[in-house]
Amino acid sequence: MSKKGVKCKAKDVFEMMKTALEKANPNRPNITIKKQFENLVISLNECFKPEKDDSSFKANTLQKNLYTKSRKHIEGNNPNYVLNFESWYLDSLSIYVYEKKYEEQFQPVDENLNSSLSTDLFEIWGIREFIPTLINSIFSPINCLSTIYNELDFMGILGNKWIENENLMELFEKFLLRVSNNQGKVRFLILNPNSNNYKNYVNLEKDNPNNKTTNHLLELTKKYDCFKVKLYDANPCFRLTFVDRTVLAFSVYRLDTQSYIETQKGWKSPHFVIHPENRKKIDEKIQIERPMSLYAPFRSYFESVWTHS
């Protein structure tokens, strides 16, 4: 197939990618996004049987280019943003999903649809993605535990999502061992079960949570030197996940009864993905990317709470 560039809308590409992933992963709700793409690539390569290795599909290319780029604009409320991808990828995916080439399935694109205002503002603040729910996202505990190798800083309420079942407990210990072997570190800030704010949180839970999660995490700190846990007393405001000091996923806690139920205890809470300020030298001048990034203020907030807990 031709490798010419094709103009396409973010919403069309994202919808096609989602449908392709569903088709390649039937009845597999609990596998990681990385594994979903690996299965999709196997299906595509079997369908189209590329003759050369450089013509085969790559999971990393599909995820980082087509999927992540299109999702960024969908979740940034700019679904009609015009992107440009190779027709080889688009046509193959479209035939796999719709049994017709991409430009036969979707309407021609008007390049004037693009507006840089919202994208530019998000870039200035360091906001690179918007994740509508934590479930199945790259920042869900199961995906973090499978992909992080060096450093994780987390601030939440109990930390229960990280070890809520035996499978995750086992994965969490493997994660800690991997980080320890890499001389990395993991820090968890969780709500003090003896605080008044914890008592307020308990009132939201029908099953009345106990200290089992807290105690288990504290026990793990005795087993793994790389793992530290501190307890804070303040009212929970943010769920913060810092990965390798290069990216932050944050969400705002809504702890009234109705919101807590609607978000399924936070699983359906939206998250912003924020990258830090970046300075680079170009033609003897320092150029600053993301000059007003929210990453540094949230990092400062985390460190302050950690110091005083």
Q: If you average pLDDT over every residue of the chain, what do you get?
A: 83
Distance CA 168, CA 39 (A): 22
Name the band, by pLDDT with cuts 50, 70 and 90, for residue 188.
very high
**Which one, of 71, 76, 81, 77, lies nearest residue 109 by Cα?**
81
For the chain, helix (H) and strand (E) counts, in that order, are 13, 11
Strand, helix or coil at 139? coil
Question: Is residue 17 a contact partner of residue 62, using CB atoms and an 8 Å limit?
Answer: yes
The arithmetic mean of pLDDT across residues 244-263, rounded, is 82
pTM for this prediction: 0.61
Distance CA 265, CA 140 (A): 14
Domain boundaries, the chain: 5-111, 128-307
Name the band, by pLDDT with cuts 50, 70 and 90, for residue 286.
low
Distance CA 42, CA 130 (A): 29
The CATH number for 128-307, chosen from 2.60.40.1180, 3.30.870.10, 3.40.50.2020, 3.30.360.10, is: 3.30.870.10
pLDDT of residue 2: 47
Q: Which residue has the higher pLDDT, 263 or 302?
A: 302
pLDDT of residue 116: 44
Name the band, by pLDDT with cuts 50, 70 and 90, for residue 297.
very high
Per-residue pLDDT reduced to its tens digit, 105-161: 887 776 555 544 455 567 778 887 778 888 878 888 998 998 898 999 999 998 989
State the DSSP H helix or E strand holding residue 229, giving kind and residue range, or none if neither. strand 227-232
Vertex 61 angle, CA 177 and 32, to 5°: 40
pLDDT of residue 204: 67
pLDDT of residue 50: 59
Name the band, by pLDDT with cuts 50, 70 and 90, for residue 232.
very high
Name the band, by pLDDT with cuts 50, 70 and 90, for residue 285.
low
Q: Which residue has the higher pLDDT, 245 or 187?
A: 187
Per-residue pLDDT reduced to its tens digit, 68-99: 888 887 776 677 778 888 888 888 899 999 99
